[in-house]
Structures are given as structure tokens and as C-alpha cells.
Chain A
Amino acid sequence: MKEEGIELIKDGKRLDGRGFEELRPIKIEVGVLKRADGSCYFEMGNNKALAAVYGPREMHPRHLQDAKTAVVNYRYNMAPFSVDERKRPGPDRRSVEISKVSRAALDPVILKEYYPKTAIDVYVELLQSDAGTRTAGINAASVALADAGIPMKDLVSSIAAGKIGGEMVLDMNAPEDNYGEADMPVAMIARTDTITMLQMDGRFTKEDFKRGLVLAKKACHEIYELQRAALLDKYSERAGEGGEE
């Protein structure tokens, strides 16, 4: 996976011209799906993620219900046309792992006790992929959960830090991810700087890792502001002063 080959840093800049700590452009739309209880379309560079939340709803099969809380299910899926080389439809091992860690990224903030015996189903579709898809998915899912009216303590934001061409950077695109030395996807509650997802792949030093955490924290704060703004935006027309019931 970590290949040698192309020069990722040239004259102190990344191949797409970004600074080391610069995120790709982000676009967020809330409530884009009619049938889902909550939804969010999230673009991060060339990543296009669509999150749909259904629930709380009756949980089937019954024997998997939890008598005291809702069960949160997260399914990450990449569309076959989302990548350069067509991906066979259906869950592969990578999607299974990503679904697991993504669910764990959101679990800590959801007030599951409010809806015993139900299921809260989160479906994340990657319509186009350019590295960092799991982080785009979590960002989208967090907004979609709010849109669905699921009570949560906080929003969760996510980004990948990494090492490419000897430099620690944020938000790698596909070539950077493929040819870089290491990548670490992180999810965080921006308000409390609590980390709810953390993985690392590749090879770097403990100091690189610490630096990665610091960079990720900064990026998650930025992303949080955008998530929040998108949610507020949905109701901003004509929400104004002076009024009665």
C-alpha cells in the first residue's frame, strides 16, 4: 500500500497546490432525501458522501433488540462506480471494518437510552471516492443524525492526518494516501476535544503521531463549524426577531 514513487511534495507545496494543513473544499447539504428521517450530502474534495438516517424505528430481528437502549447500526458502502477500478458491489472486509469504527465514532454522543428496543440505522453511501471516505462519511452521518432529530450530546467531526514526502499533512487525496508514509483517520467531538475514532496505517514515529493528533484537532474544529453552519442554515430563512407564538 505505501509505495515509493511519485514526489508528493514539490517546492514546499502539495501536488494540488494545497498547504500542508489545508483541507479540501467542503460542501454540506442537509435534508436532501425525502424518505429518510434525516440526511446529509457531504463533499470533501472529490469525495461525495450521502448519509441517510432511519429511526428510531422498530428493530428486527427482535432477538437483537436491546431492552434498555436503541441499537445504532452503521453501514458504509462504496458505489461500484465511485473508484477508478470498478468495485464489485456488496460489503467487502474493508467496508465491514470501516462500518464498525464509524459506528463507534458516533456511539458516544447518541442518547440511545431515550429509545429502548429500537434501531437507529445509518446508511452512508460513497458516490465518489478520493481517499478520506470514512471521514467524509462520519461527517455526513453526524449531520444526518441531527437532521433526523436524534438527541445527541455533540456533533462528531472527522479528518485524516498523515505523513507524505516526510511532512505531516491533513486530508490526503488518493495519490497522497497511496504513496504517503502513513495515514491516521481521526474522529472527534470538537467541543470537548474527545477522540472517538483513531486508526493508523503505515509507518512513522511517535512524534509524528502526536503531531497528527494536534493537526487533526485543528481540522475537526474547522469542520465542526461548517457542519454547524449547514444545520443552522436549513432553518435560517425567516427565523428572526420579534414575534409571537
Chain B
Amino acid sequence: MMYKVVVPGDFISDEVDRAGEGTYVDNGKIYALNYGIVSDKGAIKVVALSGKYVPTMGDVVIGRIVELSYPFWIVDIASPYEARLHLSDFSRGAERRIDFSSMSNYLDLGDWIIAKVQKVDALMRVDLGLEDEIKIDDRGRLIEISHTKVPRVIGRSGSMIKMLKEKCKCFIFIAKNGRIWIKGQDENMNLATQVVLMIANEAHTSGLTDRVAHFLDSYEEKEK
């Protein structure tokens, strides 16, 4: 399959009923809306190579507490839109009542969390919900790539991320908004970071999985 890069306004196809994300239809023809790669399976889409993350319901994101605004924590999710987490979400059960002064005992400014986007309304207010009260701790490392590269880091049916976890011997969690949490020994985290950045840089190319596998294998060899 050829990876075809298109620019906005490029003609893609006449099959207007297959027009998908990243395209628009004008006079019976599909044109590109995004600067990106044409994806031809099923719907005809143009996957953007750059651009900001806009949250949608169901996305799992890694966010950072930037403001305590009772009864919400305001969360930066690497998007033009801020998100908020209601404190009732944190306290399971009615007994635990959190007031403003004790908010920071649970989540403080600068804390990182994993959360799910529960709702985005018409005014672009983004509500988050904590899945398992996961606060990202100090162990490990957080890196950030463009959200557009996340599918590549995951790979088809998770093949790429699986290979990374095995060969780098790290815990790796990739969030939809491009933030990645890596945990492991220092050299392993370094390797994982290097490979993730490599994938992000070459996300538009083909044969990437093989190249990454090759790189990891030869690294392993060198270490022996």
C-alpha cells in the first residue's frame, strides 16, 4: 500500500459516499481537508500529520492539574481546550466530603493523572472522570509527542507497542492526547524514549515496524 501525502484542496476520489474524516465533498468529488496521509480502507480519510488534540468522549488522556477551582480541578490535556475533573469523581461514596482546603490533599497543582473524557459539550467544556483513581507517581518518565502519531506508536492491533514493551522491558502507557508514561530501569526508559521519538518522526513512512524491530534487535545485540 502506498502512503500518499496530500495537501489541503488535493483531489482524492470520485466516490463521494466513502468520504470520511479529513476530507470534504465539492461538486461530486472528494478533496483533502488535512495535510496528511490518505487512508483508503473503508472510508476515505486523510490522517493529519500535525495539529492539535481535540478531546472526544471516551478518550483516555494524561493530564496535569493546573488550577484548583472548587468543586473542580482544572486539567491541562495538551489541547486548546482545558478539561475539568469534578471532586465527586475522586471521592467514591458520600462519606468522603472534600472541601476546598482539602482538595490539594487528593490532587495538587502539578500532579499528573490518567483520566477518561466523559463528556464534551457544545461550549467545549470537557469533563473528565477518573477510571481507577490513577495518579501518575514520581517513578517513571512522561514524554509528549504529537497526538497524530499515537496510532503509529500503538501499531496495528497493538503490535508496535507490544514489541516496545517487550524489547525495552518497560511499562508504557500511551494516552490519546500524545502523552506517554514510561516506567522501568533508567537505560530501558532511555531506549524506550528514543524509539518512541523515532516512531513519531517517521510515522509517515512504511516499513517502520520492521525498522524499529531491527533497531531494537541490534541494540540488544550490542548490549550482550
Interface residues of A (CB under 8 A from B): 37-38, 55-58, 67, 109, 111, 114-118, 146-155, 189, 191, 227-228, 231-232, 235-245
Question: For this complex, into which size category does the number of interface residues on chain B fall?
Answer: 35 or more
- Given the known inter-chain contacts A150-B51, A151-B8, A240-B2, please indicate yes or no for A231 contacting B35, CB distance below 8 A: yes
Closest to B206 in A: A243
- B8 and A242: CB pair below 8 A? no
Collect the chain A residues with CB atoms within 8 Å of residue B26's CB.
Answer: 153
A149 to B54, CA, bound (A): 12
Residues of B within 8 A of A236 (CB): 5
Q: Is B49 within 8 A of A155, CB to CB? A: no
Q: Once the chains are docked, how many angstroms separate the CA of A12 from the CA of B49?
A: 47
C-alpha gap A207/B50 in the complex (Å): 44
Q: Does the CB pair B124–A117 fall under 8 Å?
A: yes
Q: Which of A146, A149, A150, A244 lies in contact with B156, CB distance below 8 A?
A: A244
Contacts A67-B123, A153-B31, A240-B206 hold; do A235 and B48 have CB atoms under 8 A apart? no
16 example contacts (A-B, Cβ-Cβ < 8 A) are as follows A56-B80, A115-B80, A116-B124, A117-B81, A118-B81, A148-B51, A151-B33, A152-B8, A153-B9, A153-B31, A232-B7, A235-B49, A240-B205, A242-B206, A243-B207, A245-B156
Interchain CA distance A150-B54 in the complex, whole Å: 12
Q: Are B80 and A155 in touch, CB under 8 angstroms?
A: no
A149 CB contact (under 8 Å) in B48, B152, B155, B202: B48
SS class, residues of chain A in contact with chain B: loop
A147–B36 CA distance with the chains assembled, in angstroms: 10
A188 nearest CB across to chain B (Å): 12
The 8 closest A-B pairs by CB, nearest first: A243-B206, A149-B51, A154-B9, A149-B50, A245-B156, A152-B8, A146-B35, A238-B205
* 1/0 contact string of B185-211 vs chain A (CB within 8 Å): 000000000000000001011111100
- The answer on a CB contact under 8 Å between A235 and B5 is yes
Question: How many Å from the CB of A207 to the closest CB on chain B?
Answer: 31
**Given A238-B206, A245-B156, A245-B209, 4 more pairs with CB closer than 8 A:** A147-B35, A151-B22, A239-B205, A245-B155
Verify A152–B9 contact, CB threshold 8 A.
yes
**B80 touches which one: A118, A239, A244 (CB < 8 A)?**
A118
Verify A155–B8 contact, CB threshold 8 A.
yes
When the two chains form their complex, are residues B34 and A149 in contact, meaning their CB atoms are under 8 A apart?
yes
Mask for B114-156, Cβ within 8 A of A = 1, else 0? 0000000001100000000000000000000000100010011
Nearest residue (CB) in A for B207 is: A243
> Which single residue of chain A is at the shortest CB-CB distance from B48?
A149
Q: State how many angstroms separate the Cβ of B74 from the closest Cβ of chain A.
A: 12
Shortest distance from the beta carbon of A46 to any chain B beta carbon, whole Å = 27
**B80, A57: Cβ atoms closer than 8 Å:** yes
State in angstroms the CA–CA spacing of A221 and B124 once bound together.
Answer: 39
Which partner residue on chain B sits nearest A67 by CB separation? B123
Query: A201: shortest Cβ distance to chain B, in Å?
Result: 29
- Tell whether B18 is near chain A: CB-to-CB under 8 Å: no
Contact A147/B50 with A118-B80, A153-B33 known, Cβ cut-off 8 Å: yes
Bound: A37/B148 CA distance, A: 13
Which of A37, A57, A148, A154: most chain B CB closer than 10 A? Answer: A154
A242 to B50, CA, bound (A): 24
CA distance A239 to B4 in the complex (A): 8
Q: Does B52 make an interface contact (CB < 8 A)? A: yes
Alpha-carbon separation in the docked complex, A27 to B15 (Å):
36
List of B residues within 8 angstroms of A152 by Cβ? 8-9, 33
Residue contact B202 to A238, C-beta cutoff 8 Å: yes
A51 to B52, CA, bound (A): 18
* Cβ–Cβ < 8 Å partners of B51 in chain A: 148-151
